[in-house]
Structure 1
Amino acid sequence: MRRSMKLATPLLVACCATLALAGCKKPPETQTEAQRARAVTVARIEPRPIVGSLTASGDLVPREEAAVAPEVSGYRVAKVLADVGDYVRAGQTLVQLDPTLLEAQIAQAQAQAAQADDQAKRVSGLDGTGVLSQEQIAQRRYQADIARANLRQLQTQRRKMAVTAPVSGLILERNVRPGDLSAMTTTPWFRMARDGQVELSADLSSDDLTRVRVGQTATVTLPGGAVAQGRVRLISPQINTQTKLGEVRILLPVRSDIRSGGFGRAVFSDASANVLAVPETSVRYDADGASVMVVGADNRVKRAPIQTGARGGGLVQIVKGPPAGTRIVASAASLFLDGDLVRPVEGGAAQAQAPAKAPAKTAAAK
């Protein structure tokens, strides 16, 4: 018994030594949070020139509007020869008045003028003869002049029985019907756009007006989504004292889809301004609005809501949001949650790196 215990003691010591050595062996190394962090490209909110950032909205109006109204009163409209949408030439008859009553007046005036002329001729050469007083002779000559003037007035009215277009252009509005009585009113029978030209009347602030010049090109988006290239024709020389805005007129090409009274939005393609901006790719849009992912000093990200402004050249203006110099994730497609740790890379594209694998165990470590 005592001999068997002596044999077991070395075995127990060996087993304890083996367990002790096994306990001292290092466990497999694991990655830290910093090592697992994804590498991402960051951009900064900073002043940048946004080309095409200047925009303006306004109404489509005729470049020059012409009104057509009768010049004689008291005559019935016999025919209306033009309608809305017609393009008419200068001098073209738009309305024909009924001349029946006037023709009778002209015939009567012609007879009176002929009689007055005959009376005036009879006293020719009688000045100073005493046959008639000088006053009677002058009266006959005066009556002849009055009769001729009345005839000429009626003949002029006959020419006015055809109401014509004062300029060439497009008829925008018609307010006359056959049977209407001509009258000198403030409501014109027709409204026309001279030469069919329509332009965009837009208001700009005094600061933005300094970035616009006559002859500058602008891209105008029409109500239906179509686009037209225009040119700045006029810049208002004064600012409205109440709105603090000034008018800009952008002349557009003559097209059937450019209609007076519509709404348009102009983008001045060669106007630029330095504003706080970020790349368009960095802005995320969701149900809560626009936002960017800010990279803090501890390299952790946090969503920050922003208010965007002008766009152009792949940039978006930050009207309201984090201050200049703030680092943000350059790609909104990179999905992060608030508090995620990242490894920021300034400038060039960063490749998302997968966690490094633990070194394989060697045969000796097994």
Structure 2
Amino acid sequence: MHRLPLTVSVLAVALALGGCGRKTSDANKELPPQTVTVVAAAQHDISGALTASGRLIPREEMAVAADLNGYRVARVTVEEGAYVRRGTVLAVLDDSLLRSQIDQVRATLSQQQVAAEQAAAQAIRVDGLDNQGVLSKEAIDNRRFAVRSSRAAAAATRAQLNDLLTRQNHLAIRAPADGVVLERTVRPGDTSSTGTAMFRMARDSEIELYAELPESDIARISVGDPAEVVLASGRRLTGQVRLIGMRVDSQTGLSIARITLPRDPELRQGGFAQARFTRTFSVLAVPEAAVHFDADGASVQVIDAKDKVSRLRVRTGRRAQGLVEIVSGLAAGQRVAVKGSAFVLNGDKVKVAK
């Protein structure tokens, strides 16, 4: 067995220790900072779209009922879907019983008018006979009272006749305004009732979309905004927001936007349609690449004045044109990392690309 000289062994150990020292020194050297590009959060105009669905309903629905109770419907002159003008006869009630009453009252009125004329003639004959002794004062007064009484009776009967004639005129059920007949619930032979609608109409044939939106979205639209409405058939119509509801349903969290639509025969009450609202908003936004999402939500990497990274939680909104709206958590002017942001951690120092 040969042994190395002592000087050779010592030299080998020294070389080995020297090599380990160089490796440790290299590991302790600091890595260069990650290079990132930054963008300042700023206001941008972005186009956003909201969608809402709902049912088609009349802008103003009219219930048409008879003014009189207990009259038989003689005929119906319109069907559902008919467009009618104000005053158009929709149905007619049988007036046979009313005609007989009118004839009776007219006959009574004729008799009373004759009696009034006779009483007036008799009263004229006693003019100038007061205190003459020809007739007693009582007899003269009775003739004069008879004139007034007969005239009053004739006036009461004339009022009764006018009431019957008014009733006769109301036996024709007429449209209260221009519009389209949405529903007909009356048939010939039915008995009229003031509490039951015979027809339902849409005033001026105006049908609207009763669109339902979440409370968070209803604040993003305004009266007068345009809306593209898609019908069940796929047809597209251009509408306009006429009214925004002031109430949020406590069960669904939805509110209402009523959208006016042009007159179209395809618009039917109760039909389904969808609305799309497109608007341009000025919002605080950053590029999409600057926003990171994980189980805790959205965040951005903020670069401070010393080029150090801070992770901030943010709440995002609309997305468009490669931008993301920042609803809260970030202020205008703050710098956020974009390219290279995925490779840096909270507290890291970075190199900002020029």
- Offset of 1:265 from its aligned partner? 2.5
Residue matched to 1:251: 260
Task: Answer yes or no: is the 8 Å Cα contact 2:214–2:255 preserved in 1.
Answer: yes
Q: Distance in 2 between matches of 1:206 and 1:245?
A: 9
Residue 153 of structure 2 aligns to a residue in which SS?
A: helix
Residue 173 of structure 1 aligns to a residue in which SS?
A: strand
Q: So what's the TM-score if we normalise by structure 1?
A: 0.60
Q: Distance in 1 between matches of 2:179 and 2:276?
A: 28
Equivalent residue runs for 1:91-102 within 5 Å: 91-102=87-98
1:240 aligns with 2:247: yes
Which residue among 193, 201, 209 is the counterpart of 1:192? Answer: 201
Residue matched to 2:161: 151
Structure number with higher helix proportion: 2
Equivalent residue runs for 1:201-240 within 5 Å: 201-202=210-211, 203=213, 205=215, 208-209=218-219, 211-213=221-223, 215-236=224-245, 239-240=246-247
Residue 53 of structure 1 aligns to a residue in which SS?
A: strand
1:161 aligns with 2:157: no
Equivalent residue runs for 1:1-366 within 5 Å: 49-124=45-120, 129=126, 130-131=139-140, 132=142, 134-185=144-195, 187-202=196-211, 203=213, 205=215, 208-209=218-219, 211-213=221-223, 215-236=224-245, 239-240=246-247, 243=250, 247-272=256-281, 274=283
Q: Percent identity, please.
A: 39
Change (3 A) 1:147 1:311: farther
Task: Answer yes or no: is the 8 Å Cα contact 1:52–1:267 preserved in 2.
Answer: no
CA RMSD of aligned residues (A): 5.0
Q: So what's the TM-score if we normalise by structure 2?
A: 0.62
Cα displacement string for residues 65-87 of structure 1 (whole angstroms, at most 9, x for unaligned residues): 11211112221111111111111
Task: Answer yes or no: is the 8 Å Cα contact 1:211–1:271 preserved in 2.
Answer: no
Residue 240 of structure 2 aligns to a residue in which SS?
A: strand
Task: Answer yes or no: is the 8 Å Cα contact 2:248–2:255 preserved in 1.
Answer: no
Q: Distance in 1 between matches of 2:317 and 2:79?
A: 44
Change (3 A) 1:125 1:251: same
- Offset of 1:188 from its aligned partner? 0.8
Residue 66 of structure 2 aligns to a residue in which SS?
A: coil
Q: Which ranges in structure 1 are unaligned for 5 or more consecutive residues?
A: 1-42, 280-307, 330-345, 347-366
Change (3 A) 1:242 1:154: same
Q: Which ranges in structure 2 are unaligned for 5 or more consecutive residues?
A: 1-38, 127-138, 289-315, 328-333, 341-352
Change (3 A) 1:152 1:207: same
Aligned positions, number: 284
Cα displacement string for residues 80-131 of structure 1 (whole angstroms, at most 9, x for unaligned residues): 1111111112111110111211111111111011111111122226559444
